[in-house]
Amino acid sequence: MGRLSGKVALVTGAARGQGRAHAVRLASEGADIIAFDICEGFASANYDPPTLADLEETARLVEQEGRAIVWRKLDARDYQAVKALVDDGVRELGRLDVVVANHGICHYGYAWEVTEEEWDEVISVNLTSVWKVLKAIAPVLIKQGDGGSIIVTSSVAGVRGQPFLAPYVCSKHALVGLTKTLANELGQHRVRVNTILPGAVMTPMAGFEWNGQKGEANPFGGELEKPEVAATLGPIFMNALPDKWMAPEDVANAVAFLASDESRFITGTEIAVDAGSTVR
């Protein structure tokens, strides 16, 4: 019996990286899965997008764990599409207990060089569409009356002013505030709401090939290679532990804990999985 046996978890951004790791880990703990990803690129994201084949592979891996999965290619910015998937998933799998709002995109560059279109796209995907997902699932959890756990993926950039990431940082800070508000609003229904703060994770967003094995690219356009920039901004990206990168599965371990009853009295908090980058 896994820690999540008999439960159903929704995971967004599930095609690869952290989303896939969360879906597979929760399935290994006994949960059936509802999952989606847009499987398309964004104009503001300067890295390769996930594909439909990636999402299909996530579904295969969940089924390999012996769990059922209801999955769909959709855009989290489309509230009606999200709600339809949630309704279909609950109808097919019987309920909803855990929600991992994990999707997001990133744009790299100096704040004053970000275009209006790039800014609007990052905010709409990272913040507004997360609110739309939570808007779709909150009534379901309330109506069930059995409580639940919502885990929102923010970032270490959600609690510090990381350079070259202005729209991303603003969206991730806002997610921390949204999480705290929902923790207060949903607490009366025994629904817990927490934020996870990943540090440097080996995903395509960070410049890695999807399996994390082909080395890192420089997502900051070479800025940190300039001595004068590295001297002042480089320490911001340093960790307390002697590890620069983590695997998506390292974050999934924390998500599994927050999804389980082992964390039943934890709500409204931020859990940093960052090798100590926010210690300072």
b/e per residue 173-199 (b: at least 16 CB within 10 A): bbbbebbbebbeebeebebbbbbbbbb
Structure tokens at 220: 């900051």
Structure tokens at 280: 């300072």
d(CA 149, CA 114): 35
Q: How does DSSP classify residue 128? A: I
Q: How does DSSP classify residue 262? A: G
User: How many Cβ atoms are within 10 Å of 43's Cβ, its own excluded?
Assistant: 11
Q: 69-73 and 32-37 as β-strands: parallel, antiparallel, unpaired?
A: parallel
Contact between 274 and 156 under an 8 Å Cβ cutoff? The reply is: yes
Q: Is 110 a catalytic residue?
A: no
Contact between 178 and 131 under an 8 Å Cβ cutoff? The reply is: yes
Strand partners, 149: 98, 192
Contact between 236 and 160 under an 8 Å Cβ cutoff? The reply is: yes
From the list 47, 79, 110, 168, the catalytic residue is 168
Residues annotated as catalytic are 168
